Amino acid sequence: MTQTAWRMSHPTSRWARAFGVFEPPVLAKVLAVVADALRAGGLRWYVFGAQAVLAYGRPRLTADLDITVMAELEQVPGLVSRLGAAGLVLQSAATERFVRRTRVLPFVHEATGIPVDIVLGGPGLEQDFVANAREIVLGGVSVPVISPEDLIVTKILAGRPKDRDDVDGVLREQLPDLDLERCRRFLSMLEAALDRDDLLPELEEALGRTRSCRASR
């Protein structure tokens, strides 16, 4: 399994509060300081996960932020320092071995307790995702957000019940404007890389559910 596929198929927020829900202005405050820190470092990045689902019209309770940053392992110390100066604390679980294995940096915003998971993006799909990201205003903060097509791909790969719900929600809101061939192309690539045959059928089933729902309105 590729590093990219591993990261997308496993939840990154193991440190989030089990039932915590933060008010949108608080999340926006944290997003703003993270965005400032990443932009000051000249890094390419995008928001994904629950905040991206919200951006495309699907109501979602969430207690964390998931962000992919295009950075190499040797850039980690500088990234940790920059985010630390912005009020984020790297969690003790982020040993060197953990980061090398998962390419995930689990932070918590000290003032609010909001978890912020930073995924280190690398060659492959994430390069395409960052190039295709859209600038969207979330809570008054303009940030790059993974495209709805690429979000659908990551959610289908993750495959949990809530991810399937998210796929349905994004499809219902965005279907007329989606580049479905992009979704199919990337899912086909992942099926070949992971020796799977269930990702494209999952998309088609979700499309069937969405079209039936739209037809019944």
Q: What is the pLDDT of residue 209?
A: 93
Q: Do residue 83 and residue 155 come from a single domain?
A: no
Q: Which of 30, 64, 45 is nearest to 145 (CA)?
A: 45
Asked whether the beta carbons of 15 and 91 are under 8 A apart, the reply is yes
Same domain, 113 and 7: yes
Question: For the chain, how far is it from start to end, CA to CA, in angstroms?
Answer: 41
Q: Structure tokens of 37?
A: 């820190």
SS3 at position 133 = coil
Asked whether residue 75 falls in the same domain as residue 3, the answer is yes
Q: Quick one: 30 and 85 in the same domain?
A: yes
My answer on whether 46 and 122 are in the same domain is: yes
Tens digit of pLDDT for each residue in 127-164? 999 999 999 998 888 999 999 999 999 999 999 999 99
Within this chain, do residues 66 and 154 fall inside the same structural domain, yes or no?
A: no
Instruction: Enter the tokens of residue 24.
Output: 């949108």
Query: Is the domain of 136 the same as that of 154?
Result: no
For residue 60, the model assigns a pLDDT of: 67
Which of 121, 146, 171 is the C-terminal boundary of a domain?
Answer: 146
Task: Extract the tokens encoding 75.
Answer: 């850039």
CATH of residue 76:
3.30.460.40
The verdict on 86 and 29 lying in the same domain is yes
Q: Is the pLDDT of residue 77 over 60?
A: yes
Q: Count other C-beta atoms under 10 Å from residue 132's C-beta.
A: 15
What's this model's pTM, rounded to 2 decimal places? 0.85
| φ, ψ (nearest 5 deg) of residue 145 | -125, 140
For 27, the domain range is 1-146
Task: Average the pLDDT over each of 2-11, 18-27, 117-126, 187-196 and give the range with the smallest value.
Answer: 2-11
Mean pLDDT of 54-80: 87
13 lies in the same domain as 116: yes
- CB-CB contact of 71 with 79 (8 Å): yes
Q: Give the pLDDT confidence of 162-188 residue by residue, as tens digits.
A: 999 999 999 999 999 999 999 999 999
Q: Do 170 and 58 meet the contact criterion of CB atoms below 8 Å apart?
A: yes
Residues 133 and 169 in one domain: no
Task: Assess whether 45 and 113 both reside in one domain.
Answer: yes
State the total domains in the chain.
2
In this structure, how many other beta carbons lie within 10 angstroms of the beta carbon of residue 72? 11
Residues 62 and 85 in one domain: yes
Beta bridge partner(s), residue 136: 143
Contact partners, residue 192, CB within 8 Å, separation at least 6: none
Residue 195 backbone zone (phi > 0: left; psi -120 to 50: alpha; other: beta): left
Find tokens 């690429």 and name the residue: 150
Read off the pLDDT of each residue in 70-84 and give the average, rounded to a whole number.
Answer: 95
Query: Which secondary structure element, helix H or strand E, spans residue 197, and what is its range?
Result: none
146, 178, 206 — which closes off a domain?
Answer: 146
Total number of residues shown for the chain: 217
Q: Which of 88, 116, 146 is the last residue of a domain?
A: 146
Q: How confident is the model at residue 149, as a pLDDT?
A: 98
